[in-house]
Amino acid sequence: MTDEHPLNAPWALHFERDGTEDVAVICDVDGDELVRSRHFWLPDPGDPSPPTLNAVQLMVHAPRLLLSLERLVTQIEPEQMGPRLTAALAEARTVLDAATGGEDD
């Protein structure tokens, strides 16, 4: 994967008020809507973060996470690692393949 990928990233997250509830919206780099969440309430300072908010925050950063993981995986030499890091690298490659439509496991 290079910096240019079919995800049309970076993605942006914004919130819309729908009555008394909030809706999270993720848009691609062109401003086109990709995801609209279910209704939830944005937390007040000190309140726990709702699962919907956690999920959309992860989604909006997914393209950068994917690119970072791919860069990391291509820089690591398995023969320089112990068995636990080798297993983690293999798992990372499996996830990358699944996320990018590469080889099936």
Helix-then-strand count for the chain, H and E: 2, 3
What does the pLDDT read at residue 2?
43
Which tens digit of pLDDT belongs to each residue from 29-85?
999 999 999 999 999 999 999 999 999 999 999 998 888 888 888 887 777 778 888
Q: What total of structural domains would you count in the chain?
A: 1
Q: Is 58 helix (H, G, I), strand (E, B) or coil?
A: helix
d(CA 60, CA 28): 9
Residue 25 domain flag: yes
What does the pLDDT read at residue 76?
78
Domain that holds residue 20: 12-100
Residue 5 domain flag: no
Contact present, 78 and 86 (Cβ < 8 Å)? yes
pTM > 0.75: no
Residue 39 domain flag: yes
Q: Cis check for the bond before 10: say yes or no (omega within 30 of 0).
A: yes
User: Which of 32-36, 65-69, 87-91, 101-105 is predicted least confidently?
Assistant: 101-105
Residue 7 domain flag: no
What does the pLDDT read at residue 4?
57
Residue 2 domain flag: no
Residue 17 domain flag: yes
